[in-house]
Structure 1
């Protein structure tokens, strides 16, 4: 007799509908909500009664969710899905400190297969199998007493109502304390599973529905070349590197104890050492940077609903180009067009995944053909984790020993930081090589901008990677490097005082400045450009032209 047949012959208990939901809700709260309980206990360290009552209220919320979504024969499939959802979210919170919100769901859906496979490890599969797959399978083992449809018509709303009554009764028992906590500690319910993941999924689906077929309203259609750009005797070229996951704290030019930017330090660059990001993920920061909306006003719907920096450059007669070595253009260059890095141009840099060194031949190829004013945007893979070791070649492995695993628990804190710092060395090499290439070019008047989209947590306060919700995002995820290089020919042609810009580099700046500063660097006259946010405004000197 096979094992399967033996299992089939085991007696299956017969239980009421409510008993199964109570069992599932109890398992979810006790086994899959470590982050929730940790935060709740920290909030009421000397009041176990308040902890127990609030925990009971959230348990009742879990029961309410099961009752509401799983009437009748939907009960078991719904319970199984919620168990898998909670187990997966719980695993990533325990191991990386990440919370699931709408933008995290967006990252999940918009990441590439290459990136996502780094997060799928043997330990992850084993962990989710034990805490999610097995319990979900066990849900189908007992038989459930099903009432007839006529009784289900009153039993379902009654179960929902009773669960709701238990939840509200528990929460109102110490309403003053609980309401204050919920207003201040968004991370508490943000760590509750499966509620946080369900809410995030619904918010993501709603936003996708609203932006499914966006029509971009005209913006900056009055753009035209300024006097300096119009008088330039050669095509003006601005190379813009949109960095990935480079954080200011580990950037040598920003005062990091390690010299992670030795090549840039030898070039005449301007480093803005107090720069902050619009978001903590590519899906937020990149559209925000190019939208001109600013962090305070940014929304995905707003960014997709009007033209952006790439469009405005085109309106001014400047050629906008986008070459990608990451997850795509994030709908920024959808109207102007974009291309992925051609791995065949740099096979030595693409042995496993293309490092950013593969962008160098792409720059060289386009540089030779430029015959009109151009902004070339290069979207880097940069320091994207958790597989930092794949972001640089062996010649850039300056810090050792380095973590060579996407499972951080396999590495020490020092090894993780070493691998991350090596990825910054790779970025430093690519930027410096680009500067040398541009400085040697005789057919253009060149300049370069590098700005990271967001930072990265490397274990501080138990957090790893990025995409933390804005209300709890640490400085490691929001402080970013921002570097500017101006060829003397560019400064002269565009009437810019590089010394003045260097003096401004210690002032606080942000992604809000990016849009307007790129327009300023290219001397684009348009009502969309805010002189107060354009960092070139106080440093423009027509007498230098």
Structure 2
């Protein structure tokens, strides 16, 4: 006797499934999953509890450090923060806005929590600026499969679940008093919790800024609001001229050939991994052989390009710097143009950050050097720019080259494989896929590539007989490579480690340049050993080029004060 399979258990063919699918869907529609009915306040309580419990890992870590030994204060501050989260939902989500606002806050908190946990990134105003002003190339390195997976699981799915229950809505007139009452009650609990031990809590909020900087969604909402306010104010600033008396000094005016300064604005190079600064790996072998002047102790103005780059070209010192202050007055490029220099800004990064808004700028492309741009353009793409500038130079020129440098997390794209000396090196934007030594190897290979580009640039400048040449390299900010659980950069300055705020700076002078402009090399080397910062750039470039102006501060000029006519 032969056994026959039960036809009802046999797998459906594609045609059979297509035949039965309309019936299956009709059955689901006639017997839908039951949707619970929930009150407005109950939904806010659930969402607040989820956001606080699951999407605030960094906040709870700081809470444990601060209040771990005082359970009562821990409980009271937790109550206050829970009330703040409820207040946010109540205030921004009355009536039918509730579920869209709740879903949005879950998504925001989930995204911020992922990047804080995986890389130590906190969301502040400058991070929001970086998000809005980044390029597609840069941002896609952060939107990784791992990031998407984490945000979908902790953000997208819970946000979708917010729309599953039916919310019992009150009438229109009832809502007129229910919304302000809900907001008032949440505010009362928040204030009551804080004032229960105001002396302690006020001190914590004043001195431990990292606590609320890690709180979601509050930190992100505040950062977006501050960014929006700054952008609105920035559109109303009036430009003030700087150094209206700028003119060539006597040595520059007497020069028999045009002067060319190539100013490399570096990206994400940290002083700790710079070979000339004593790093245990030689990451600057080319510069070490070319007689450069190294500045081993230089501080950055900020920890992100959006802050440091404008700050270093501005006449404002770090203590006085603000975005509005920068936008409301001319910068170094404007002064150089006024003194008769041709200024060119060529970019291989995220743009000029409004520094060249009045003098103009261009972006590199693959036509300059197809080999250097096989995937993303490495900084070797700048070499043809220097070559063409030298070939056609007829007037004093400053060429600013904004590098991609060591911008992470895709360090492996910053150098060609054949020049990778430190292996195995991380070949992923997902740091979780790599060991810490592999990440450091990739970063150091990027430093070697910067050394390669700077060294070849020096050789080109030294070989020309068409101009008096000099080169200055200064990185915008540093980088964290896992120290203290931090990666990348852009940490708020109040808590940023030195790995993000100490940067390399190098000066090279051609023989004809230093002779024509009367610069004392021994004096320069001695001054380079003194502590410096990006505050010095504006004044030192003016001094280097012998530009006469009352706007140049001799106390901040590390080059012009070494002019032999002034020392002898």
Please confirm whether the aligned pair reaches a TM-score higher than 0.5, indicating the same fold.
Answer: yes
| Mapping of residues 211-250 of structure 1, within 5 Å | 211-212=234-235, 214-250=237-273
Q: Do residues 455 (structure 1) and 449 (structure 2) align?
A: no
Distance apart, 1:544 and its partner CA:
9.8
Contact 1:455 1:480 in 2 (8 A): yes
Distance apart, 1:108 and its partner CA:
0.5
Distance apart, 1:540 and its partner CA:
1.0
From 471, 475, 478, the counterpart of 2:501? 478
Work out the CA distance in 2 between the residues paired with 1:126 and 1:11: 28
| Mapping of residues 252-271 of structure 1, within 5 Å | 252-271=275-294
Quickly say closer, same or farther: Cα 1:108–1:3, change in 2 above 3 A: farther
Work out the CA distance in 2 between the residues paired with 1:353 and 1:499: 40
Quickly say closer, same or farther: Cα 1:3–1:65, change in 2 above 3 A: farther
Work out the CA distance in 1 between the residues paired with 2:564 and 2:290: 23
Contact 1:349 1:357 in 2 (8 A): yes
| Mapping of residues 339-350 of structure 1, within 5 Å | 339-350=362-373
Work out the CA distance in 2 between the residues paired with 1:90 and 1:17: 26
Contact 2:542 2:560 in 1 (8 A): no
Distance apart, 1:216 and its partner CA:
2.0
Corresponding position of 1:44: 67
**Deviations, residues 246-296 of structure 1 (Å, cap 9, x unaligned):** 000000001100000001000010000000000100000111111110101
Work out the CA distance in 1 between the residues paired with 2:434 and 2:125: 30
Distance apart, 1:6 and its partner CA:
6.1
| Mapping of residues 41-120 of structure 1, within 5 Å | 41-120=64-143
Look up the SS of the partner of 1:327 in the other structure. coil
Q: Do residues 162 (structure 1) and 177 (structure 2) align?
A: no
Corresponding position of 1:535: 558
Q: Do residues 327 (structure 1) and 361 (structure 2) align?
A: no
| Mapping of residues 136-535 of structure 1, within 5 Å | 136-212=159-235, 214-535=237-558
Contact 2:287 2:454 in 1 (8 A): yes
Look up the SS of the partner of 1:241 in the other structure. strand
**Deviations, residues 482-532 of structure 1 (Å, cap 9, x unaligned):** 000011211111111011111112110000000100111111111221111
Work out the CA distance in 2 between the residues paired with 1:418 and 1:96: 18
Distance apart, 1:303 and its partner CA:
0.5
Distance apart, 1:212 and its partner CA:
2.4
Quickly say closer, same or farther: Cα 1:519–1:7, change in 2 above 3 A: farther
Work out the CA distance in 2 between the residues paired with 1:385 and 1:530: 35
Look up the SS of the partner of 1:344 in the other structure. coil
Work out the CA distance in 2 between the residues paired with 1:444 and 1:336: 22
Work out the CA distance in 2 between the residues paired with 1:2 and 1:480: 63
Contact 1:449 1:484 in 2 (8 A): yes
CA root-mean-square deviation? 1.4
Work out the CA distance in 2 between the residues paired with 1:170 and 1:361: 64
Contact 2:246 2:549 in 1 (8 A): yes
Q: More deviation in 523-532 or 232-241?
A: 523-532
Contact 1:402 1:419 in 2 (8 A): yes
**Deviations, residues 290-326 of structure 1 (Å, cap 9, x unaligned):** 1110101111111111111101001001111111111
Look up the SS of the partner of 2:38 in the other structure. strand
Q: How many residues align?
A: 545
Distance apart, 1:169 and its partner CA:
1.4
Contact 1:64 1:160 in 2 (8 A): yes
Contact 1:495 1:543 in 2 (8 A): no
Q: More deviation in 28-37 or 215-224?
A: 215-224
Contact 1:235 1:444 in 2 (8 A): yes
Contact 2:348 2:402 in 1 (8 A): yes
Work out the CA distance in 1 between the residues paired with 2:419 and 2:544: 32
Contact 1:486 1:498 in 2 (8 A): no
5+ long unaligned stretches in structure 1: none
Contact 1:438 1:446 in 2 (8 A): yes
Work out the CA distance in 2 between the residues paired with 1:409 and 1:324: 31
Distance apart, 1:342 and its partner CA:
3.1
Work out the CA distance in 1 between the residues paired with 2:27 and 2:46: 25
Contact 1:240 1:449 in 2 (8 A): yes
| TM-score normalised per structure 2 | 0.94
Quickly say closer, same or farther: Cα 1:173–1:481, change in 2 above 3 A: same
Contact 2:80 2:193 in 1 (8 A): yes
Quickly say closer, same or farther: Cα 1:543–1:475, change in 2 above 3 A: closer
Contact 2:544 2:560 in 1 (8 A): no
Look up the SS of the partner of 2:337 in the other structure. helix
**Deviations, residues 416-473 of structure 1 (Å, cap 9, x unaligned):** 0000000000000000000000000000000110000000000000000000101101
Distance apart, 1:543 and its partner CA:
8.1
The structure with the largest alpha-carbon Rg is 2
**Deviations, residues 27-47 of structure 1 (Å, cap 9, x unaligned):** 000000000000011112212
